[in-house]
Amino acid sequence: MSNTLSILVLCGGQSTEHDISLLSAKNVIEKLDPKKYHVSIAKITQDGAWHYFENAEDYFSQSDSHVMHIIPGQKNPFFTGEKAIPVDCVFPVLHGTNGEDGTMQGMLELLQMPYVGADCLGSAIAMDKIVAKQLLRAAGILVVDWKLIRKSDEKINYAEITKQLGTTLFIKPNSLGSSVGVKKATDEKSFYAATQDAFRFDEYVLIEEAIVGREIECSVLGNENPKASLPGEIINHTEFYSYDAKYLDDAAATVKTPADLSPELITQFQSLAIKAFQTLRCLGMARVDFFLDKNNKIYINEI
């Protein structure tokens, strides 16, 4: 045990992406080499309680958990009762609000606890779709055209929006992932229904033009000198890559890795992925989502 690092995996959380976080955590836990790492897990319930599992076996069987507390100012700030939990590094596998938007990262920095992934600033930037688009565009990176609407807006002008973006639109909550709350609208009625649904999740809603083409994704790993993976392609068998297509319906989409692309396009995707990663101050790891239109023009969708 003395030659292993103690890793605390954080999962669950209070966001609408709670269940997706649990799926992601399962993948991470199963991939961590037990010869190198002692893995313990803190599962955050949707009520905000932290439950500690000393090892993966207890976590997967959901047995022998303990209520976990945080006491700032301690070398080991995590406790069950009066017992300190030895942690060398935290691996946050949290999605959505209070998980990957910089709040958890800020808390870990206040605790002076090393953790995996982007820091507080990078997490907050990447989570805010509008801010991310503005920074990417300022860096000379092509992004899908958009318009921002607010819940407080007195009037949302459908005619004005379609004049700018076209009649096929995608409506997204500004600060959520996993395609939660994302809807496609093709007329005024479906547009207003989609915006009202999106406002259930966020005060700010993103309206995007539809790009006809292929969906490509590329992972990036590293810090000062990040490396990009070979691109993969999401082949949709439904209208778009929705929450259901990602997590509930295995037949809705196929992921092809590597994607069938020319060497020149592969290089372009990898270069753009790294540039976007660095522009948004990402660290550790990220997935960059792209659209490739029929003219081989590359747009960044999200990070």
Same domain, 94 and 10: yes
Asked if 199 and 101 sit in the same domain, the reply is: no
**What CATH number did the domain enclosing 70 receive?**
3.40.50.20
**Does some domain include residue 121?**
no
Which two tokens mark 229? 């993976």
Asked if residues 184 and 168 have their Cβ atoms less than 8 Å apart, the reply is yes
Say yes or no: 243 and 290 in one domain. yes
Do 66 and 175 share a domain, yes or no? no
Question: Does the residue 273 lie in any domain?
Answer: yes
- Residue 230, in any domain of the structure: yes
Together in a domain, 177 and 34: no
Q: How confident is the model at residue 149 (pLDDT cuts 50, 70, 90)?
A: very high
Q: What is the largest CA-CA distance in the chain?
A: 65
Is 70 exceeded by the pLDDT of residue 240?
no
Report pLDDT for 154: 81
Of the candidate ranges 225-229, 234-238, 255-259, 291-295, the one whose mean pLDDT is the lowest: 234-238
Domain tally, the chain: 3
- Average pLDDT value over all residues in the chain: 91
The pLDDT score that the predictor gives to residue 61 is 84
Q: What is the pLDDT of residue 28?
A: 95
Predicted local confidence at residue 97, as pLDDT: 85
301: left (phi over 0), alpha (psi -120 to 50) or beta: alpha
pLDDT computed for residue 36 by the predictor: 95
Residue 232, domain member (yes or no): yes
User: Which helix (DSSP H) or strand (DSSP E) does residue 28 occupy?
Assistant: helix 18-31
Over residues 184-195, mean pLDDT: 94
What's CA 262's distance to the chain center, in Å?
A: 28
pLDDT above 80 (res 113): yes
Q: Are residues 131 and 241 in the same domain?
A: yes
CATH number assigned to the domain comprising residue 162: 3.30.1490.20
- pLDDT value at 250 more than 70: no
pLDDT score recorded for residue 248:
54
| Domain presence at residue 79 | yes
First to last CA, the chain: 37
pLDDT in tens, 254-290: 889 999 999 999 999 999 999 999 999 999 999 999 9
Domain boundary among 187, 209, 231: 209
Q: What is the domain range of residue 89?
A: 5-116
Q: Which residue has the higher pLDDT, 64 or 53?
A: 53
Residue with tokens 């807006």: 153
